[in-house]
Structure 1
């Protein structure tokens, strides 16, 4: 496992991007969410690789882009902590949730790109949950996604660390404390 490559995950609308931006402002190297970039690009191009149009194509792009982002960071050989807004296993989880077949090649790709053992997961938080042009899931779907993300990362041998429902500064400090303990 790569000790300095940390995943921040969870269901939609739980503050991941806000936290990633906070970590970036605190001087950490961050990798923005690939899924949202794909959705934005597909909407701009009037493409079909969208979760509400062609889930299989969207999932394929999400997995390929996540692996590419991982490899790009790995090549930089950074020694300080790096935080990913979602990891490769998020794509695998999405595929499982949508009953999209996962080939042995896809599983091998996920296993070939290990992150730090500790994965930070943000729990569902109804008070801050909102939908937007790219986030169309219902609250019930958001909670379901959180549960499946947890199961997916655990099944691949990662330790799940649930962040508190708290302001972004508290969450940042919580993460800093945990990574300094590892």
Structure 2
């Protein structure tokens, strides 16, 4: 059984908050590659940003997601990823037409159960690292709803509940 579990879905849907709660409960967590890249690029004056050079940004996200998977091998028990390789490969495929889901994502599987946060307009917000609007976030969510099952994953859409209830839901689903 694969211990690497992806929490993905719509931007602004509460993924990072859920991962923080799972980490607080003692599980391994991996921060979203995109957020880390944006912070690094903004600090260094780089151009691999989604609003400047989308393909360069997602290529960095692919590389970071692969490195994250390798680093997570040392963790015991569940390791929860805030997005990851499949999200980056899906974005790369969407932007460039490259068959990234097959060539990059399929050889590096995660747990068969993937959790997606649905669009949640009431909590959605932009910030210096997330500049895209809700429409772009929903379009990405819809692509992910297709990409994960196409690769054989079972998608569970998370309920719009509080963070503790969401964490209980994830852990309870994995325990079954």
TM-score normalised by structure 1 residue count: 0.92
Tell me which residue corresponds to 1:135: 130
- The aligned length equals 176
Q: Which runs of 5+ in 1 are unaligned?
A: none
Tell me which residue corresponds to 1:50: 49
1:175 aligns with 2:170: yes
Q: Which runs of 5+ in 2 are unaligned?
A: none
1:89 aligns with 2:83: no
Q: Would the aligned equivalents of 1:67 and 1:109 in 2 still touch at CA under 8 Å?
A: no
State how 1:62-77 maps to structure 2 within 5 Å: 62-74=61-73, 76=74
| Matches of 1:172 and 1:140, distance apart in 2 | 27
Q: Would the aligned equivalents of 1:12 and 1:137 in 2 still touch at CA under 8 Å?
A: no
| Matches of 2:128 and 2:112, distance apart in 1 | 33
Q: Would the aligned equivalents of 2:93 and 2:99 in 1 still touch at CA under 8 Å?
A: no
| Matches of 1:10 and 1:41, distance apart in 2 | 23
Which of 89-98 and 41-50 deviates more?
A: 89-98
TM-score normalised by structure 2 residue count: 0.95
State how 1:129-168 maps to structure 2 within 5 Å: 129-168=124-163
Over aligned residue pairs, what C-alpha RMSD do you find? 1.4
Which of 163-172 and 65-74 deviates more?
A: 65-74
Following TM superposition, the consecutive aligned residue runs of length 4 or more in structure 1 with deviations greater than 4 angstroms are: none
